[in-house]
Amino acid sequence: MSSRLSKFVMIVVAFAAFSRYGSAQDNVFTGTEKGVDRIRVAAADFKPLSADSAALKATFDTVLYADLAQAGIFDLVSKSLLPQLTPGAPSEMNVTQWSVNPTNAAMVAFGSVGIKSGRLIVNGWLFDAKNTQYPQVLGKQYAEDANDNSAREIAHKFADEIILRLGGGIPGIAETKIVYVHGGSGSKEIWMMDYDGANPHPVTHLGTVSLSPRISPDNSRIAFSSLGREGFQIRVFSLLLNRMVAFPAAAGTNLSPAWSANGAQIAYSSSRSGDPEIWIADANGSGPRRVTSFRGPDVSPVWNPKTGSQIAWISGRTGLPQLYTMDADGAGVTRMTDGGYATSPSWSPNGQFLTFAWDRKYGPGAPGGQDIYVMEIATKRWIQLTHDTGRCDFPSWSPDGRHIVYASNAGGRWEIWTMLADGTQRHKLSANGANDMPNWSWK
Amino acid sequence: MIDTNLAATRVRRNALMALALGAMVLSGCHKKASAPPPAPLPSTATESVPTATLTADPASIDLGQSAVLNWRTQGATTVSIDGIGNVNLNGTQTVTPSASTNFHLVAKNDAGGTTEANVRVTVRVPVAPTADTSNQGDMGPEAEFHRNVQDVFFDYDSYDLRADAAASAQRAASYLAAHPAIKIVIGGYCDERGSAEYNLALGENRANAAENALVGAGVSPTRMRVISYGKEKQFCTEQNEACYQQNRRAQFSLDR
């Protein structure tokens, strides 16, 4: 690896692992984050306040631990290194027991889980283990219906509170969702699951091929493309009404919708003019206008979520598909990739990076494969995130910018995977195959 | 090491595909089985009158082609077909009429009972585009359509018509000109490599290229509909170039 590249690796790693010192102001190019250790956090098993809460407590402990481990900003202490204690309240907490070896935690999360008259009551605290005098950083109480799903939700909420406090003010993603395509017998439907792969469930029941789901910035609607008698059309499902809502059909093939950051506009590919071009319409489909005009496939637009005024997309105008950026009015077209076969861009929440799928040596018998890459837009420098793990496609950035969800056929079946934005901590979210085209919700 | 893994993956995938293919074949068989069985022949109770059926397959042919007559009788002693003469009680006969013909079968028995059966073999004579309008409702059988309007195949990641494709577009155009009632759907397809969204756009370009070739050859665009299927409806599911080529096509089908 060249030194230039390794420097860029460091930059991306630093970007992915914003510490409490890192923030948007602390420019990723300075490299000042180098060498900053991740905060060492201990997540104690919570104390059961009643015998009947044991099962829900187990769920809560597991989910909270997983959320903090997935956050990508903590050095989470292994459970085997924790003291054999379950402090259920600040009065039962002695932080020095947690700050000494082998636990050696900087922060410790603890609390209690109980069931009172059908309600699941969770008290959670976050203590600074090195501050014996005023250790409390956070104290929260939650009350929900006593069921397994509530235990998961509460754990997600508490984890997000901790991540918000310790993660440079960037909200956590433990309460976010992922929409994706799940193939069945002859059809493909839009499905949704929690960010950690829990609760997978179908959203549409259209009995046809539906692709490219994109959730709106306010989480109220899912736009996607669906095969009808006249070919692929943009369709919209309302998560509030729990049914399809109107989006006008157009001639030709209409594909890959993308919400603008304010939710007011949808960019998509339409061939109504006889050639697939990028079009922009209002969110209800009215006022469509063409943005590109160049012979060849133009598809997969995505807005710059930071500015809302640029679009990255894939164009085959010079042959194999390449990654381009332009202003939302079609001016300032810039080619980003220098060859190969590039598809499926997703724009980072801070507007500085694009992630996309790239097969750099495309062609029959060519070495390598389709992998996930991240490119810094200002410099066009890139880094490869996946290596030799089957074909990878459809990366989608998490709202905190620290994670990327994508689809891969590693292991022979197409599944949804997630990783940190530096390519580490890869793990599979879905099971049973035929899962594709994930899209991370905006919050 | 990597190669071995790839090979293993491929084998597994092929096994899956074989399963899927098997399932498709099975379901295909099932469909055929559900077709109505041939009507049982009436019993011999009505001995005084024989029974006879006469069919032709196919019922309509192009000039110079053949059709097979097939007849079945019961309770008859002599059977004759006009233009052929006396024939067996049950049998088949290949005929090559030069014009549309009514075949008339007469079955007689000793008691003097007589039964007749008829079948018409339609012969389509090639006509100029401006020919008689009585032909307009005749879309012709699917097989004939596909013989004349052949799928157009494309190079890897290309939507430019090859030389062979241009020739077959010309032939398709003259067939469509002779059958003005036919409307067609042009489906754009891609092989399984590449990315789904881009392939759908590429398939659209392929189908449009085929449509433009037909428009250039004089077919009205109002008779054609273009749908891109990308790699969502694979025709061939093996992982080799022959199969990929099968999938990289613009496919013509009758728009019903």
Question: In the structure encoding, which two tokens stand for residue A79, read together?
Answer: 């459970």
Which chain B residues are closer than 8 Å to A437 by Cβ?
196
Nearest to B205 among A275, A344, A388 (CB): A275
Could you say which of B124, B143, B172 is where a domain stops? Answer: B124
> Do B110 and B160 have their domain in common?
no
Domain CATH for B175: 3.30.1330.60
> Do B70 and B109 have their domain in common?
yes
pLDDT of residue B26: 41
CB A364 to CB B156 under 8 A? Answer: yes
Domain residue limits, chain A: 39-166, 177-440
Question: Which candidate, B61, B88, B63, B59, places its Cα nearest to that of B76?
Answer: B88
Which chain B residues are closer than 8 Å to A363 by Cβ?
156
Across the range A93-100, mean pLDDT stands at: 95
CB A253 to CB B225 under 8 A? Answer: no
Across the range B130-146, mean pLDDT stands at: 61
Higher pLDDT, B100 or A6: B100
Could you say which of B75, B95, B124 is where a domain stops? Answer: B124
Across the range B248-255, mean pLDDT stands at: 91
Across the range B231-251, mean pLDDT stands at: 88
A302 phi/psi in degrees, rounded to 5: -150, 135
Using 50, 70 and 90 to split pLDDT, how confident is the model at A438? very high
**pLDDT exceeds 70 at position B221:** yes
β-partners of residue A120 are: A115, A144
> Do B102 and B136 have their domain in common?
no
Which of B13-22, B121-130, B193-202 tops mean pLDDT? B193-202
3-state class (DSSP) for residue A194? strand
**pLDDT exceeds 80 at position B22:** no
Would you say the pTM of this structure is higher than 0.80? no
Question: Which candidate, B62, B49, B103, places its Cα nearest to that of B81?
Answer: B103
Number of domains in chain B: 2
Is B2 within a domain? no
> Do B113 and B224 have their domain in common?
no
**pLDDT exceeds 50 at position B31:** no
Cβ A72 vs Cβ A402: under 8 Å = yes
Question: In the structure encoding, which two tokens stand for residue A90, read together?
Answer: 């600040």
The DSSP-derived string for A202-258 is E----SSBEEEEEE-TTSSEEEEEEEETTEEEEEEEETTTTEEE-----SS-EEEEE
> Do B250 and B149 have their domain in common?
yes
Higher pLDDT, A4 or A196: A196
pLDDT of residue A35: 54
Across the range B170-178, mean pLDDT stands at: 90
Pinpoint the alpha helices (H) of A232-358. Answer: none
pLDDT-wise least confident of A70-74, B25-29, B201-205: B25-29
> Do B220 and B150 have their domain in common?
yes
Cβ burial of A63 (10 Å; 0-12, 13-18, 19+) is buried
pLDDT of residue A30: 32
Higher pLDDT, B122 or A234: A234
The per-residue pLDDT of chain A, averaged, comes to 91
Across the range A250-277, mean pLDDT stands at: 97
Which helix (H) or strand (E) element contains residue B117?
strand B114-124
CB-based contact, B13 to chain A, within 8 Å: yes
β-partners of residue A334 are: A325
3-state class (DSSP) for residue A328? coil
CB-based contact, B120 to chain A, within 8 Å: no
Distance from CA of B133 to the nearest CA of A (A): 30
**pLDDT exceeds 70 at position B251:** yes
Across the range A43-69, mean pLDDT stands at: 95
Question: In the structure encoding, which two tokens stand for residue A3, read together?
Answer: 């030194």
CB B195 to CB A321 under 8 A? Answer: yes
HSE, CB side, 13 Å, CA atoms: give it for residue B146: 6
* CATH superfamily of the domain spanning A177-440: TolB, C-terminal domain (2.120.10.30)
Using 50, 70 and 90 to split pLDDT, how confident is the model at A264? very high
CB-based contact, B196 to chain A, within 8 Å: yes
The per-residue pLDDT of chain B, averaged, comes to 77
Which chain A residues are closer than 8 Å to B241 by Cβ?
364
A419 phi/psi in degrees, rounded to 5: -155, 165
Question: Which candidate, A314, A280, A325, places its Cα nearest to that of A394?
Answer: A314
The single-letter DSSP state of residue A34 is: T
Q: CA geometry: angle at A174 spanning A434 and A347, to 5°? A: 65
CB-based contact, B20 to chain A, within 8 Å: no
> Do B146 and B169 have their domain in common?
yes
Q: CA geometry: angle at A52 spanning A50 and A54, to 5°? A: 85
pLDDT of residue B156: 86
Cβ A122 vs Cβ A110: under 8 Å = no
Using 50, 70 and 90 to split pLDDT, how confident is the model at B12? low
pLDDT-wise least confident of A91-95, A348-352, B7-11, B231-235: B7-11
Q: Which residue of B has its CA nearest to A437?
A: B196
HSE, CB side, 13 Å, CA atoms: give it for residue A113: 30
Q: Which residue of B has its CA nearest to A183?
A: B232
CB B196 to CB A211 under 8 A? Answer: yes
Is B42 within a domain? no
β-partners of residue A354 are: A347, A375
Across the range A164-179, mean pLDDT stands at: 95
Which chain A residues are closer than 8 Å to B12 by Cβ?
412
**pLDDT exceeds 60 at position B234:** yes
A54 Cα distance to chain centroid: 31
> Do B91 and B147 have their domain in common?
no
Nearest to A231 among B157, B159, B227 (CB): B227
> Do B175 and B246 have their domain in common?
yes
CB B197 to CB A357 under 8 A? Answer: no
> Do B120 and B136 have their domain in common?
no
Could you say which of B124, B156, B186 is where a domain stops? Answer: B124
**pLDDT exceeds 80 at position A288:** yes
Instruction: Give the position of tokens 């989608």.
Output: A396
pLDDT of residue B85: 81
Distance from CA of A181 to the nearest CA of B (A): 12
* Residue of A271, A322, A388 to mutate, testing the B interface (most B Cβ within 10 Å of its Cβ): A271
**pLDDT exceeds 80 at position A338:** yes
Strands B60-62 and B114-124: parallel
Across the range A180-195, mean pLDDT stands at: 94
pLDDT of residue A19: 39
pLDDT of residue B36: 52
Beta-carbon pairs below 8 A across chains A and B = 93
Is B15 within a domain? no
**pLDDT exceeds 90 at position A334:** yes
> For residue A205, how many other CB atoms are within 10 A of its CB?
8
CB A436 to CB B200 under 8 A? Answer: no
Across the range A187-208, mean pLDDT stands at: 97
Q: What kind of fold does domain A39-166 have according to CATH?
A: Rossmann fold (3.40.50)
Which helix (H) or strand (E) element contains residue A12?
helix A3-16
The contact set of A with B (CB < 8 A) is 188, 209, 211-212, 225, 227, 230-232, 252-253, 255-256, 269, 271, 274-276, 296-300, 314, 316, 319-321, 341, 343-344, 357, 363-364, 370, 388, 390, 393-394, 409, 412, 436-437
pLDDT of residue A11: 47
CB A297 to CB B232 under 8 A? Answer: no
Using 50, 70 and 90 to split pLDDT, how confident is the model at B53? confident
Distance from CA of B219 to the nearest CA of A (A): 17
> Do B64 and B102 have their domain in common?
yes
3-state class (DSSP) for residue A172? coil
Is B69 within a domain? yes
Which helix (H) or strand (E) element contains residue A14?
helix A3-16
Strands B91-95 and B152-153: unpaired
> What is the domain extent for residue B176?
129-254
Cβ A430 vs Cβ A411: under 8 Å = no
**pLDDT exceeds 50 at position B21:** no
Q: Which amino acid is at A299?
A: V
Question: Which candidate, A388, A390, A393, A419, places its Cα nearest to that of A405?
Answer: A419
Across the range B216-224, mean pLDDT stands at: 92
Is B16 within a domain? no
CB A297 to CB B205 under 8 A? Answer: yes
Question: In the structure encoding, which two tokens stand for residue A255, read together?
Answer: 């594909």
> For residue B231, how many other CB atoms are within 10 A of its CB?
20
Q: What is the C-alpha radius of gyration for chain B, rounded to an integer number of angstroms?
A: 25
Nearest to A232 among B157, B208, B228 (CB): B228
The DSSP-derived string for B9-42 is HHHHHHHHHHHHHHHHHHHHHHHHHTSPPPPPPP
Which chain B residues are closer than 8 Å to A298 by Cβ?
201
pLDDT-wise least confident of A137-141, A357-361, B124-128: B124-128
State in Å, rounded, how far the first CA of chain A is from the last one.
36
pLDDT of residue B29: 40
pLDDT-wise least confident of A18-22, A207-211, B55-59: A18-22
> Do B145 and B100 have their domain in common?
no
Using 50, 70 and 90 to split pLDDT, how confident is the model at A23? very low
HSE, CB side, 13 Å, CA atoms: give it for residue A26: 15
Residue count (chain A) = 443
Question: In the structure encoding, which two tokens stand for residue A259, read together?
Answer: 């919400």
Which helix (H) or strand (E) element contains residue A152?
helix A148-166
Question: Which candidate, A441, A420, A437, A419, places its Cα nearest to that of A428?
Answer: A419
Using 50, 70 and 90 to split pLDDT, how confident is the model at A4? low
Instruction: Give the position of tokens 């196919």.
Output: B58
The single-letter DSSP state of residue B126 is: P
Question: In the structure encoding, which two tokens stand for residue A50, read together?
Answer: 């009643």
CA B185 – CA B188 distance, rounded (Å): 10
CB-based contact, B201 to chain A, within 8 Å: yes
pLDDT-wise least confident of A146-160, A300-314, A351-365: A351-365
CA A96 – CA B40 distance, rounded (Å): 93
CB B200 to CB A232 under 8 A? Answer: yes
**pLDDT exceeds 60 at position A286:** yes
pLDDT of residue B32: 42
Which of A11-20, B96-105, B126-135, B200-209 tops mean pLDDT? B200-209
CA A151 – CA A341 distance, rounded (Å): 44
Using 50, 70 and 90 to split pLDDT, how confident is the model at B14? low
Question: In the structure encoding, which two tokens stand for residue B70, read together?
Answer: 């097939």
